[in-house]
Amino acid sequence: MNAMGFAWRSLIRQPARASLGVLGVAAVGALLFDMLLLSQGLVVSMRDLFERTGFDLRVTATDSLPGQGPLIPNAVAAARAIAKLPTVRSAIALRFANATIVDGGPRGYYTSFQGVEGTGAHPWSILRGRDIGTGAEIVINENTATRLALAPGSRVVLRASCTDQKQALPPMPFTVAGVAQFPFDTPRGATLATSLEMLADACGGNESDEADVIMVASQDSAGPAAAVADVATLLPDLRVLSNAEAVNRFERGGFTYFRQISTVLTTVTLSFAVLLITVLLTVSINQRLGEIAALRALGFSRWRVVADVLCESVLIVGGGGLLSLPIGGLLAAGLDNILKRIPGIPADVHFFVFQPSALRVHLLLLAATAVIAALYPIRIVARLPIAATLRDEVVG
């Protein structure tokens, strides 16, 4: 019988003990797996979201995030100039504001309001109806459509709010052209979009050619790096960021907390697993010292009994590790649901994202745990004095 088969038989001799060991490793392993998914999940999810918008450059007036800094002056002209660059496929100017839909209630329905102008596709996907045309038309997201029972063709009156200052702008009528999905919508967020010109009209018509951000799609043949260089040369007063740079900045921002907590918890869970498996194996070995000494006396080599202990550790950790994957998947879904309730998080962003690299690291860490946890019990069996142990067993 080989070492693995022998270790298996040793474990099933004590089914309760072995099962509890495997279950314990499964619980710890599930937490470890989730922490690995969390460590890069948010960044991977944000990168995916950026790429899905179809634009790979963002041009802003300052280093502030779009919507939180000063507006870009002459934005439409700038977007057209950018679109003509050989490394650029298309460019659109976007301006963000807020609006209240007058719905008969005392306060109205508060929404995010954006205006777009340029040569590229609009940064939303039409679900029903059609895209905005040249008139006073808007597209609305699903939450707004459901909440106010609106459909393509419905008429709405909205009051825009375009600066920090308290404004009393006149209400303006719009026709709903379609229902759209916006990539950065929050689960309960309400979003409207129209042309930059109509947004400027709703904002009082004083800032008709200003935008928060110009989104640029680079030519596939040129790539974003060349487009960044060209745009920066064309408009040296503006800030240009590629998706990779934006993700990098995001990674260094406030959400590094999740990466840090995942590192801390990974370290703690691994230490916990090593300590407890070591204790389980050590106690188990101590109870079987006489048996192991007898096997040595019968001709089992030192390396063979060492291999038996190592295989026992591998079986406990391996069994627990296999169980940890489905448990970890379910746990990750639950924890993701909790974290996605943080206000302002887009509905399509996830904190726990599966990546093959996370699975590889998980397996590697579990394998290291199995080996490290077995070191001390291995030392006991390797140095076991056969005759003295047998005598103690008989005399004791």
Partner 1 sequence: MIPRRIVVALAAVAVAAATLHAADTLPSILISRQLSESEHIAVGDVVRLSRESDGAAAQQFRVSGVYEPTPDPARLGAVIREVQLHLPDLLTLTREPAMPAGSEYVESINVALVDPADADAFARDVQARMPGISAQPATGAAESTGPFLVLRRFHLAIAIVTIVASTVFLLALTIMLVDERRAAVGVLRLIGLPIRRILVQLFLEGLLIATIGSLFGLVLSLVSEGLINRFFQWRYDTALVFVRVTPEVAAICVAIAVPLGVSATVVASWALLRRNGLRLARR
CB of 69 to partner 1, least distance (A): 7
Residue 68 touching partner 1 (CB under 8 A): yes
Q: Which of residues 322-341 bind partner 1 (CB under 8 A)?
A: 331, 334-335, 338-339, 341
Residue 69 touching partner 1 (CB under 8 A): yes
CB of 277 to partner 1, least distance (A): 9
CB of 81 to partner 1, least distance (A): 19
Q: Could you tell me whether strands 88-101 and 125-129 are parallel, antiparallel, or unpaired per DSSP bridges?
A: unpaired
Token reading at 41: 């999940």
358: how many CB neighbours lie within 10 A of its CB?
22
Q: What is the DSSP string of 304-337?
A: HHHHHHHHHHHHHHHHHHHHHHHHHHHHHHHHHH
CB of 346 to partner 1, least distance (A): 15
**Which SS3 state, helix, strand or coil, does residue 28 take?**
helix
Q: Which of 93, 190, 97, 188 is CA-nearest to residue 139?
A: 190
Closer by beta carbon to partner 1, 11 or else 150: 11
The Cα–Cα gap between 163 and 121 comes to 27
Q: Quick one: which of 151, 264, 330, 364 contacts partner 1 (CB under 8 A)?
A: 264
CB of 158 to partner 1, least distance (A): 21
Q: How far, CA to CA in Å, does 337 sit from each of 33, 208, 266, 329?
A: 17, 41, 21, 13
Residue 286 touching partner 1 (CB under 8 A): yes
First to last CA, the chain: 30
Residue 265 touching partner 1 (CB under 8 A): yes
Q: Where are the alpha helices (DSSP H) in the chain?
A: 3-13, 15-52, 75-83, 142-148, 196-202, 224-234, 243-252, 256-287, 289-298, 302-339, 356-382, 386-395
The Cα–Cα gap between 373 and 277 comes to 6
Q: Which of 227, 252, 250, 249 is CA-nearest to residue 240?
A: 227
Q: Which of residues 24-53 bind partner 1 (CB under 8 A)?
A: 24, 27-28, 30-31
Residue 342 touching partner 1 (CB under 8 A): yes
Q: Which stretch binds partner 1 (CB under 8 A): 60-68, 96-104, 115-123, 189-197?
A: 60-68
Residue 107 touching partner 1 (CB under 8 A): no
Phi, then psi, of 67 in degrees rounded to 5: 95, -10
What string marks each residue from 163 to 192 as x (binds partner 1 by CB under 8 A) or -? -xxx--------------------------
CB of 201 to partner 1, least distance (A): 21
Residue 313 touching partner 1 (CB under 8 A): no
Token reading at 243: 């998706």
Q: Quick one: which of 168, 237, 299, 383 contacts partner 1 (CB under 8 A)?
A: 237
Instruction: Count residues binding partner 1 (CB under 8 A).
Output: 47
Where along the sequence are the contacts to partner 1 (CB under 8 A)?
Answer: 16-17, 20-21, 23-24, 27-28, 30-31, 61-64, 68-70, 164-166, 237, 252-257, 260, 264-265, 269, 272, 276, 279-280, 283-284, 286-287, 331, 334-335, 338-339, 341-343
